[in-house]
Amino acid sequence: MIKLKSKTAKPVETPVSLADRIRATCAEAEALIEQRVAELKASPEGKFLPIDWLRQDLRNRNGGHCHCRVALSLLEKET
């Protein structure tokens, strides 16, 4: 007797490319930085400072130009 394989459809996982995952991570890191800049701008100390200055200062104090490095530094300071 011949046994037939079941024809149930297996869910197909669409692989996400490494480049897409990196872009998504960078976007999340940049969003975190912008959130912190907005918090600084809303504070009494940052109220009168230009937002671009606050952004650059935050980056300089937390790792430089790379979004990921700055975001990791900010997250480390939280814990």
CA atoms within 13 A on the CB side of 54: 19
Share of the chain above pLDDT 90, in %: 71
Distance in angstroms (rounded) separating the CA atoms of residues 14 and 68: 26
pTM of the model: 0.74
Residue 14 above 80 pLDDT? no
Helix 67-78 to helix 18-42 angle, to the nearest 10 degrees?
Answer: 60
Residue-wise pLDDT for 27-71, tens only, equals 999 999 999 999 999 999 999 999 999 999 999 999 888 899 999
